[in-house]
Amino acid sequence: MVRSRRLPGIVLALVVLALPFLVWNKQQSIADWWRLRGYTPPANVVSLASADTMTTEAKHILYVNHPQLVASSASFRQDCTQNEQTIVLGCYHSDQNGVYVFSVKDVRLNGVEQVTIAHEMLHAAYDRLSSGERERIDGLLNDYFTHDLHDQRILDTIDSYKKTEPKDITNEMHSVFGTEIADLPKSLESYYSQYFTKRSTVVNLALSYENVFTSRISQIDSYDQQLSVLKSQISSEEQNLNNQLNQLNADRSRLDNLKSSGQYVAYNAGVSGFNSEVIAYNQGVESLQNDIARYNGIINTRNSIANDLRGLDSAIDTRLTAQSAQ
């Protein structure tokens, strides 16, 4: 009987002792529940998550951070103060304290918001990894970076993070690789599949808006090369025409002297050649004028593309005032 009376007390003690252990292991779930109670994600955020083919788990991680699309550049700067700001204009507050994405209005840049929010969701996901899992993923990321990454744009991106975010390189790799690299090793593809049902959709969006910039930059570079060659050609034509003109003036003076001195036979013999020189000179002038017109046409086209590129840059420039960003 003594034992029977003590048993409930022993069971109670075991339950009481187990509660802290359970709470410790479920603290992330409890924190998530607290953050999500009564929360409804904005329609524009839901649309972006859907466009990214985010899984239920990814959406959960995203919504825990109460993501916001911010239209005002002034507000965005406040929301992202002292936080990592990516090239696609977003930031994540560590410890699941918020995701902010700059709202880009230019329809030519469709995909920026989608890739941004996916990038920031992956930062939040990385933040939630256990120490063991993070070590494993870091190893996969670094191995790919060291041996298999050959995309110069991505290499340059990671290099820039080494200067601005030296302590968070693998964290940045985790977001960049997952949203911007089409072909990854099976181990990484398997890992990212918990966040995207079709990761290629996000990558294609990234490539699409990136091409909006790179295609224009390539066009400008091509036109600059054409202008450099044409400018050299025009300079050469001008020099040749100057030489021809000097020769024409000398020949004209010689013919005038022959004529004035009564040397008509010599004069008449030189007229045909002089006229040929005049025709060649006039043809050279016409060719020069055509090349100058072509040069100016290329300048106008090149500058138009450059202005277009500046407009695209302005569309994602959070340094602008709130009024100009709207």
- Taking residues 246-261, what's their average pLDDT? 94
pLDDT at 22 over 70: no
* Residue 231 to residue 229: CA distance in whole angstroms: 6
Average pLDDT, the chain: 87
Confidence of residue 319 (pLDDT cuts 50, 70, 90): low
| Amino acid 112: pLDDT | 92
Q: Residue 1: CA atoms inside 13 Å, Cβ hemisphere, count?
A: 0
Taken as a whole, the chain contains a residue count of 326
Confidence of residue 36 (pLDDT cuts 50, 70, 90): confident
Q: Residue 28: CA atoms inside 13 Å, Cβ hemisphere, count?
A: 12
* Residue 73 to residue 323: CA distance in whole angstroms: 9
| Amino acid 297: pLDDT | 97
87 vs 32 pLDDT, higher one: 32
Q: Write out pLDDT tens, residues 219-245.
A: 999 999 999 999 999 999 999 999 999
| Amino acid 12: pLDDT | 40
- Taking residues 125-134, what's their average pLDDT? 95
Q: Write out pLDDT tens, residues 182-222.
A: 999 999 999 999 999 999 999 999 999 889 999 999 999 99
* Residue 175 to residue 296: CA distance in whole angstroms: 45
| Amino acid 23: pLDDT | 52
Quote the pTM value. Answer: 0.77
* Residue 202 to residue 87: CA distance in whole angstroms: 16
| Amino acid 320: pLDDT | 54
Q: Write out pLDDT tens, residues 264-311.
A: 999 999 999 999 999 999 999 999 999 999 999 999 999 999 999 988
| Amino acid 25: pLDDT | 52
| Amino acid 191: pLDDT | 98
| Amino acid 35: pLDDT | 84
| Amino acid 32: pLDDT | 83
Buried residues in 241-263 as b, exposed as e (16+ CB within 10 A)? beebeeeeeebeeebeebeeeee
* Residue 96 to residue 28: CA distance in whole angstroms: 10
| Amino acid 88: pLDDT | 46
CB burial class (10 A; 0-12, 13-18, 19+) of residue 156? exposed
| Amino acid 217: pLDDT | 93
Q: Which phi and psi (to 5°) does residue 320 adopt?
A: -65, 160
Confidence of residue 20 (pLDDT cuts 50, 70, 90): low
Q: Write out pLDDT tens, residues 175-184.
A: 999 999 999 9
- Where do the H-state alpha helices sit in the chain? 2-25, 27-36, 43-51, 56-64, 73-79, 112-128, 131-147, 152-164, 169-180, 186-192, 199-260, 264-315, 322-325
- Taking residues 142-152, what's their average pLDDT? 95
| Amino acid 11: pLDDT | 40
* Residue 314 to residue 24: CA distance in whole angstroms: 47
